Structure 1
Amino acid sequence: MELTTQHAAELYRTGQVEQALAVLDAVLAATPQDWMARNTRGVVLCRLGRASEAVPAFTRLLAVDPAFAEGWFNLALARRAVGETSAAAGGLLRAVALRPAEPVFSAEAGALLHSQGVLTEALRHLRRVILLQPDQAPGYLNVAVSLMSDARYDEAVAALRRGRRLAPDHGDLALRLGQALLSQGRAAEACTVLDPLAQRVPGHGEISQNLERARLVCDVAAAVGHAALPDGLAVRGPFSVLSGYGDLAQRFVSQMAQQGTRLRLLGLTGAEAWRPAEGGVETPIRPSAALSFLTPLLVEPVSGVPTVNYTMFEGTSIPASWARANAAHDLVVVPTESSRRAWIEAGHPADRLRVCPPGIQPHPGDEAEAPRTVLGPGGRPVADFRVRILNISDFIARKNIDGLLRVWLRATRAGDDAILLLKLGKGGPTLNQDFSRLLDETARHVGRRFEEAAPIMALMGRYDEAGISTLYALATHYWSLSHGEGWDLPITRAGAKGLGLIAPRNSAYTAYLDDSIAHLIPCTTGPAHMPYSRAIYPPFQGIDWWHPDEDVAAELLTRLVRGQLDRRDPRAQLLDRFAWQKRTQDLLAVVEEVGRGR
């Protein structure tokens, strides 16, 4: 066997990765100072899924030659593979600075920065790729995707058209162009782009969905000219998606139908199969307004119809991209004063903002007696614990699961008659491993083992409605330590059942909770860091969120577990103030106000 770095590289290129590693190990055994062999070996280790071994190898290499641009690039890719995204971004930027004429370096830097929400900086690097390779269509696609994420649709359309001139048959360019046109309310133009693409690539799910949506929007727009049709609302939302927006959209639409409003429903991706039990959505209508229940970048205006978007945000201001997208809409409706301030902070005109909270009502399944068949850690029935605290959260940094764990570890003891029911979702295929790592990091941070605290019952995976109702039936209290919420359906559902509530005094919580019905935790504002990191949570680049006071939270929790915390019942006040019938009437009045001006 030829024992050279060149031979190893040839083996690597032909897919013989293990053999390449063996050759490189032999080369380095003979010549330990062969830095090119060390660099190649690091690349091979990454390919084999051993990036954690590659990181120190590249680091040692760069200590000897800090001007080695390819080494910085490879170190960045290794760090990205092990989840060190901030360090990876720094390495890519170092590689670009050392070799700015290398398009691959700029492309990777732009892609990583884009994924972290640093859109302006990402765009700068992606545009450099176009300057270096002006005749390569993929560069224009990448620039356009970044522009669309920043709601800069005019520029995105221009970039996509330029890319299509270079590659007329490039399917992704055509698909993205159709999407950008839909975002601008140009559905008819989107059809002219997507229709031939769908014929050329039959059966492609995303192409078919976008074309279907464009045709539906054109159909809604065409109805504006039919004066004989009864007035109604076109409503788009994720009705069939298990999400906060989906739940709000269903509840508002059901109430609208019950109150006699004629509706035309459009789904998130195309035609909508969900129907309210009250009916009222099958009759053709002349739309007086198009109401969406979506984040701003997902809204697709209907030509000739006023655009109203019901949305919300969880921080002290909204992203610039949201402000840019909503600037093209007639009215933004938010559920709380906290969200209204976030839009104003970003420069959105106050006269094009309205506050309209949703309703709150008991869930029938939550009223059942706590089942004794659900067993906690050690086999003890959960219903036997005197204090049963529930938290239902997506496994994301904003929910402050790390804060919940820190406070629980500080405030409780193994002998306490209490249990934390922690239902986690949307963590992806590595949720169990990621949660286990968070437990380990928290134990190191606090200096205590979780075996020394009251038990935690971590519940993963998707639960159906009956399963979620079981959790509410089991709980005596609901506890949030979130960094910020647009509304927080789980805690309002808990309040409607009459559970004791502990929550931060921040964001949406201040709209429906006060000291008479809940125990509220003071907060400060500050950067949106990832758990145990200085990295910024990507959706909150340049935006602060709230930091609940963990000392106060720990004191409240200790008093609760010891039986020393007074019980405050939120049920009556929440149901009285947030009746769905009244809240839907308020929203309809807001939408009708816009429709009268058409």
Structure 2
Amino acid sequence: MEPSIERAAEHYRAGRLAEAIAECRASLRTAPRTADALNLLGAALFSAGDDGAAVEPLREAVRLQPGHASALTNLAVVLQHRQEWAAAERSLRTLLVLSPELAFAHSRLGSILKETGDLAQAVRHLSRMIRLAPPSAQDWLNLGLVRLLNGDFAEAEDAFRRTIAHTPEGAYAHAQLGEIWLRLGRLKPAAVAFARALCLDPTLRGANDGLARCRHYATAAMARAEPTEPASAASGGFVMRGAFTSHTGYGHFCRRLIQRLRRDAVPLQAIGILGPDSWPEESLDRPVPARAVVNCLIPLATERVPGLATVTFSMFEGTCIPSAWRRQSALSDLVLVPTESSRLAWEAGGFPAERLRICPLGVDPEDAVREDAPAPTLVDPNGQLVSRYRHRFLNISDFIPRKNILALLRVWLRATAPTDDAVLILKLGKGGGDTAMRAELGALLRLAEEGAGKRLAQAAPINLIDRSMSDIAMTGLYRAATHYWSLSHGEGWDLPMCKAGAMGLTLVAPRHSAYVDYLDDTTAHMIPATVGPALLPGGGYYPPFHGLDWWNPDEDAATDILRDIIQGDSAPKSARARLLERFTWERSAARLLAILDEAGLRG
């Protein structure tokens, strides 16, 4: 090693990072193609907190010397820290070609594969790491968490037990054992595990939540075994668990079903997804004699109650559920889904058809006549009132790749001009003006401009809303629009689309997934779509859909449909009558009760 590099290494080992960086740069001025100096510079910059500047010297070191193990290792660490998963994975795979038995590389690669959604391969590499070197408590914990996500409950339990054997004072592993046992309906050991976790760390909120669920489930189990009400008064009851306090699609449909069932005087014990959830309308801790628990949740969050049947009410937005979902669904006696698309996804994943039932969701017709939800005053980027435009297209989406916002923006740029009497109202995210989301949206807008070959200023205006809004304000937002438009890659139901249709907006939707259950060419403008891999715009699978397919709406067809609407060349269409007749929450609740009755799961 050259003297200057040796001095830089001494500074680095002593923690004198600024001096190490200066020495490396001085050396590179005289010998710019020195892989050792570039590697050390990248390591020092990363240690100094400048991960952005660290990437290029490390990449250059690998370009100069592809087998430089230290540079490959450091590059992978930096890229993982920056959440550049695909590039980090490539570096580690190259490192493993050079050193197949390197436990560190298997550990890092397993962690990265967990983030990209490749759970089976993450398990393989983390398991390989444990066989290659004496595992630490953290190694066992990481393996347990991935196995839990993958639905390997017995193997996850073993990993968490080994974590505790290494560090008995680790509260988190005890809590994870409790989570597994709740999924399996083992209330007593789950309560012991959560209590132990709280003794070790009284601030561990997940353990408190787990204990609360244990108490709720115990009361439900006791009510089933020893009903305290006369049979005639208690007949027909069941337990419903869900995220009813959250601003999510699952939360919304769980709330609506509970409200409808309460209105119909159906005996019901409601339990929140966490356990100590509050319900503003009444006390939740009201056990009723029941034969089943309906979990309005994804399979991973479904939990069993001893003595009661387990029903999962869920949905999926692709053509086939992940293998982890199939393993987790196996713990349910019945799986309810809202559409034929989701039913086919469960069947394609290997779930038994005889344990699947379709229960459509509902729409919110009462919102159309709410007098306390006026349309908001919106101003476009040019200072013009949005209400002045004849065609006001609305899209309400979580800011996630499945919603296909990039294509939505690209089609808008291609389809419109500044002279058009049209505006796009785009409501993204749950609100709060997240800085990271705005930066990501800015990058997405630049990609859309490149893809369309046009700048934003050359298209009709886009009115972006990223602030939090109340339910009343959201209803007013629908009133501000004339059309509702989606280019989603797949939907389990799409509550905003249904609400927009029920409120009389003209709908533009892809011809795939849930949309074909309640829309057709007579009620909406339907965009053709093809099936393809669930890939991100920059490459690689969308993690929740790793290795699976979703739908790709035809952007050319969408462009033509928007142009025809704006130019007045398309006939008016309305889904309002169909949605209000066939898809009410009253019908949804009645169908749910009928399914439970047919299966003998109500008292």
Match of 2:364 in 1: 361
SS at match of 1:524: strand
What is the DSSP-based 3-state SS (H/G/I as helix, E as strand, rest coil) of the residue aligned with 1:354? strand
Q: Is the 8 A contact 2:34 2:61 kept in 1?
A: no
Q: Which moved more, 1:46-55 or 1:469-478?
A: 46-55
Letter aligned with residue 381 of structure 1: L
CA, structure 1 residues 372+296, in 2 after alignment: closer, same or farther (shift >3 Å)? closer
State the match for 1:467 in structure 2. 473
1:424-467 deviations in whole A, cap 9, x for unaligned? Answer: 10595411110010111111122111111000111113222233
Farther-moved stretch of structure 1 (373-382 vs 539-548): 373-382
Query: Match of 1:306, as an amino acid?
Result: A
How high is the sequence identity, in percent, across the aligned residues? 39
Q: Does 2:528 match 1:522?
A: yes
2:265 to 260, 267, 270: 260
Q: CA RMSD in A?
A: 2.2
Question: 1:524 offset after TM fit, Å?
Answer: 0.5
Spell out the pairing of 1:273-312 with structure 2 (5 A cutoff). 273-276=278-281, 283-312=286-315
Pairing of 1:133-148 with structure 2 (within 5 A): 133-148=133-148
5+ long unaligned stretches in structure 2: none
Give the SS at the match of 2:293.
Answer: strand
Q: Does structure 2 conserve the Cα–Cα contact (< 8 Å) formed by 1:216 and 1:270?
A: yes
Match of 2:488, SS? Answer: coil
Residue of 469, 486, 493 corresponding to 1:487? 493
Q: If the length of structure 1 is used for normalisation, what is the TM-score?
A: 0.94
* Equivalent pairs, count: 594
Report the equivalent of 2:514: 508
Write the mapping of 1:394-413 to structure 2, written as runs, cut at 5 A.
394-413=398-417
Query: Per-residue CA shift, 1:356-383, capped at 9, x if unaligned?
Result: 1012132437766964732112111110
Give the secondary-structure state (helix, strand or coil) at the position aligned to 2:379.
coil
How far the C-alpha of 1:582 sits from its partner, in A, is 2.0
Aligned to 2:595: 590
Q: Distance in 2 between matches of 1:584 and 1:597?
A: 14
1:222-233 superposed matches below 5 A: 222-229=222-229, 230-231=234-235, 232-233=237-238
Deviation at 1:99, TM superposition (A): 2.3
> Which range moves more in the overlay, 347-356 or 459-468?
459-468
1:187 correspondence with 2:187? yes
Structure 1 gaps of 5+ residues are none
Q: Deviations over 1:84-121 (max 9, x none)?
A: 32122111121223223333221111001001100111
What SS class does the counterpart of residue 96 from structure 2 fall into? Answer: helix
Distance in 1 (CA, whole Å) between partners of 2:49 and 2:284 is 52
Q: Indicate the SS of the match to 2:595.
A: helix
Distance 1:580 1:135, change over 3 A: closer
Corresponding residue for residue 503 of structure 2: 497
Query: Could you tell which deviates more after superposition, 96-105 or 540-549?
Result: 96-105
Tell me if the contact between 1:163 and 1:173 (Cα under 8 Å) persists in the aligned partners.
Answer: yes
Q: Cα deviation per residue 1:260-317 (whole Å; 9 max; x = unaligned)?
A: 11111111111231154xx696643122110110000001111111000110000001
Letter in 1 for 2:514: A
| TM-aligned CA distance change 1:248 to 1:6, over 3 Å | farther
1:533-548 alignment runs, 5 A limit? 533-548=538-553
Task: Answer with 354-363 or 57-66: which moved more.
Answer: 57-66
CA distance in 2, matches of 1:524, 1:422: 25
Using the alignment, how far apart are the partners of 1:538 and 1:88 within structure 2?
15
Is 1:322 aligned with 2:341? Answer: no
Note closer, same or farther for the CA distance 1:47–1:434 as it changes in structure 2 (3 Å cut): farther
Decide whether the 8 Å contact of 2:35 with 2:60 is kept in 1: no
1:10-39 CA distances to partner (integer Å, 9 max, x unpaired)? 655665543432232234335545432210
Distance 1:470 1:361 in 2: 13
How many angstroms does 1:243 deviate by?
A: 0.4
CA distance in 2, matches of 1:162, 1:283: 39
1:337 alignment counterpart: 340
What code does the residue aligned with 2:271 have?
Answer: L
1:246 to 230, 239, 251: 251
The AA in structure 1 aligned to 2:528 is P
Give the aligned partner of residue 427 of structure 2.
Answer: 423
SS at match of 1:501: strand
For residues 83 and 205 of structure 2, the distance between their equivalents in structure 1, rounded to whole angstroms, comes to 31
Q: Does structure 1 residue 476 correspond to structure 2 residue 482? A: yes
Q: What displacement does 1:595 show? A: 4.2
Deviates more, 1:586-595 or 1:146-155: 586-595
Q: Look up the match of 2:205.
A: 205
Q: Is the 8 A contact 1:24 1:37 kept in 2?
A: yes
Once residues 388 and 135 of structure 2 are traced to their aligned partners in structure 1, the CA distance between those partners, rounded to angstroms, is: 70
